[in-house]
Structure 1
């Protein structure tokens, strides 16, 4: 079980996800598309391997690719292409005819239809293309197998980087819980009410083994609040508790991104008020002291 990461714009995407979550009010209109029309009802399914946070990353990445296409200055690039038409090496180097999404495909080695090829199919040359052609081309891209492959690779890489950041996981789950708390449950067709507690929030579901192992290894087998060893290698008296960062009573999700490792005392005392809490405490790769 490995990810072969290429890190093409991965950290840029991570920064975009981070910005969205740190400024949810400023981005409210853009975020509405993620949860409108009762889409949030799908978040109730417990512990999906393609987590709710995966879905969020996918939504943000699609928006990022769309913005890139919208910002592509077709007239400027046509002028550059025309001026370099007699110098194939310069065109190959500057690539004025390639859209940003094509660079992503090429970097990951994903076979795809180029904008040039698309234009040829509709009987146009690049010199005659306009913004409407880019729009139509991107609509074809969205539904292609190539884009599905690109999305999987990109979402997996971004998730791999950001899942380690528990404070960001808190921000995301706090955002998601706010959406659920305002949801109109009576509008959801076929809602599985067995997923709900009597209070109307999500019912507690034991995390599956794969989720427990992922969180245990991410948190290095230590309580994230006090650092107590929970591996069983140092002390047999300490037991791990897989705690919801945003409590279920506060509309928290049964999602792997909403779990953290706590010792029993911290779980019982530090979270006794039912608030969302985590820490920025991480084990260093190595000591700076000799």
Structure 2
């Protein structure tokens, strides 16, 4: 059970959506995630902490670091100076509080404040710089609280994005393209057994937990023709668990790359071997 609080969850969802739909604007950032052979370390065989989880975590961490750069600190220091004579307003605005602190507070995670950290360094907020912020985040990491926060937010964002099949298709096409670019390279020895040939992963049995997750997300219906596959209407309709981006097209064995199809759609609509899904969803109620 995920206890979701949805603090900035949709803010991060929107950032990730923009990155996936406009990757050319984020090539340097994305290259750090999957480029120069890094894609090999994003592969696995249906890990519960999926490749999509890893992208979400990567982006969230990057955003929190970006929110505490010199530009951010300069803006907060200017705010502190501008309202110095209005202490009541400053207590409400809290310019000395970092975004990562607000998230920790919202999730009720005990932590040392940035101001207390600076006090220990015999510094004031007006004298701090980005290096102080990085040191502070490093201290949060060493305490373990940073990872707990990022993991929780990642799971909330995944909970939302996993339901968007069109978006997970875009993600899996991006990952497949990255894997294809490594066709001429040799994968690390520890993951050689994952491949049937260069750049192509072996077909493996889809675990029960993946099938259950996909079945409930897709409401027990073929995502292409809407045929009922629950067994409640027709026992002859067979459920097929399909790779959105086929393995032959460098697709991943990842929960984000699986969808529910009927036997006929799996045989006919996927015949060309291209990435196919649907953006149609069964509504919770009739309009």
Global fold match (TM > 0.5): yes
**Aligned residue in 2 for 1:113:** 112
Corresponding position of 2:68: 69
CA distance in 2, matches of 1:63, 1:285: 35
What's the TM-score, normalizing by structure 2? 0.93
Question: C-alpha distance in 2, partners of 1:44/1:100?
Answer: 32
| 1:242, distance to aligned residue in structure 2 (A) | 0.1
Deviation at 1:124, TM superposition (A): 1.1
> CA offset at residue 33 of structure 1?
0.7
Superposition RMSD on alpha carbons, in Å? 1.9
Going from structure 1 to structure 2, the CA distance change for 1:8 and 1:71 (only over 3 Å counts) comes to farther
In 2: Cα distance, 1:200 partner to 1:214 partner: 27
Name stretches of at least 5 consecutive residues in structure 1 with no aligned partner: none
1:24 — aligned with what?
23
Q: 1:84 to 1:23 in 2, by over 3 A?
A: closer
In 2, are the aligned partners of 1:43 and 1:52 still within 8 Å (CA)? yes
Please identify, of 83-92 and 93-102, the stretch whose mean Cα deviation from structure 2 is larger: 83-92
Query: How far off is 1:6 after superposition?
Result: 1.1
Give the Cα separation in 1 of the matches to 2:38 and 2:129: 34
| 1:246 alignment partner in structure 2 | 245
Shift of 1:197: 1.5
Partner of 2:269: 270
Secondary structure of 2:200 counterpart: coil
Mapping 1:1-290, distance limit 5 Å: 2-70=1-69, 73-82=72-81, 88-183=87-182, 186-198=185-197, 200-288=199-287
CA drift of 1:149 comes to 1.1
Asked if 2 retains the 8 angstrom alpha-carbon contact of 1:7 and 1:157, the reply is yes
More off after superposition, 277-286 vs 60-69: 60-69
> Comparing 210-219 with 123-132, which one deviates more in the overlay?
123-132
Corresponding pairs, count: 287
In 1: Cα distance, 2:70 partner to 2:242 partner: 43
**Distance in 2 of aligned mates of 1:76 and 1:69:** 10
* Gaps in structure 2 of 5+ consecutive residues: none
SS in 2 for 1:280: coil
Return the TM-score normalized by structure 1. 0.92
Q: Distance in 2 between matches of 1:101 and 1:280?
A: 34
Q: Does the 8 Å contact 1:72/1:99 carry over to 2?
A: no
Rounded to whole Å, the distance in 1 between the matches of 2:108 and 2:271 is 51
**Residues of 2 paired with 1:73 and 1:41: CA distance?**
35
Q: Deviations over 1:36-81 (max 9, x none)?
A: 3422113332100000000010111111111111265334433443
Task: Report how far residue 283 of structure 1 moved.
Answer: 0.3
Task: Name whichever of 10-19 and 134-143 sits farther off.
Answer: 134-143
CA contact (8 A) 2:245 2:252 kept: yes
Q: 1:5 to 1:72 in 2, by over 3 A?
A: farther
C-alpha spacing 1:76/1:233, structure 2 compared with 1 (3 Å): closer
- Higher mean alpha-carbon deviation, 59-68 vs 39-48, is at 39-48
Q: Does structure 2 conserve the Cα–Cα contact (< 8 Å) formed by 1:43 and 1:253? A: no
Q: Which moved more, 1:125-134 or 1:217-226?
A: 125-134
